[in-house]
Structure 1
């Protein structure tokens, strides 16, 4: 254990977050997502909700504020305007850990799969709520 770090941040996840560079993306996906066949390395956090992982990741990783979008979720199939409850958890994590205002952008299912395949890594959670999938683009840590 380390002081001040969320215990969800395993050594493997911390190493991955540290290895990522500006503009790299990480996917946090639910238990139904085909993580193993998506391509990038998979970090397994079974039993942990996706929004809890989002909070943990965002507690140490800045989002990219050089681009218009830095956070994406999977749009509901056949109802892209729908807003499943898990989306509120993702929005709360964004608002709590970022000083800039970031929106949660929706991406069509197959476009989301394609974007995940280009991610630096995938965090496969135990999330059982549908549409518990999120992609985050890493930003920079600013110094004074």
Structure 2
């Protein structure tokens, strides 16, 4: 255990976060996401949900200030009536740690999959909400 680091952050996850460099991306995936088949590096966080993990990661993880949208959400497929209230939780948490006006973009599902394949790592969670997948682009410590 370390001081100031959430107990939700495993040794494997802290290693991944430390290894990442500027502009590397990490995906926090919901329980339905095909994480194992899309990940270069897979971190399992079974039993955890995306909002709590996002809250644990963002105090340690600088978002990229050199891009318009350092955060990406998987867009709802056109015609799918599903609601995405979990996105409001993401916006609230991100706003606590990042002050840019509009840091979040929505990315079409298959484009999201392609970005995931190029991401540094994928964190697989037990999140049950639909369209709860999120990509974070790492920035620099200034």
Q: Which TM-score band (shorter chain)? A: over 0.9
Provide the aligned length of Structure 1 versus Structure 2: 142
Distance 2:83 2:18 in 1: 32
- 1:65-76 alignment to 2 at 5 Å? 65-76=65-76
Q: 1:112 to 1:101 in 2, by over 3 A?
A: same
Instruction: Using structure 2 for the length normalisation, give the TM-score.
Output: 0.93
Query: RMSD of the TM alignment (CA)?
Result: 1.7
Q: Which residue of 2 aligns with 1:30?
A: 30
Name the stretch that deviates more: 107-116 or 94-103.
94-103
Gap regions ≥5 residues in structure 1: none
- CA separation in 2, counterparts of 1:120 and 1:15? 12
- The answer (yes or no) to whether the contact 1:31–1:124 under 8 Å persists in 2 is yes
1:95 maps to 2:98: no
SS at the partner of 1:22?
coil
TM superposition score normalised by structure 1: 0.92
Q: Distance in 1 between matches of 2:63 and 2:117?
A: 19
Cα contact 1:28–1:133 (8 A) shared by 2: yes
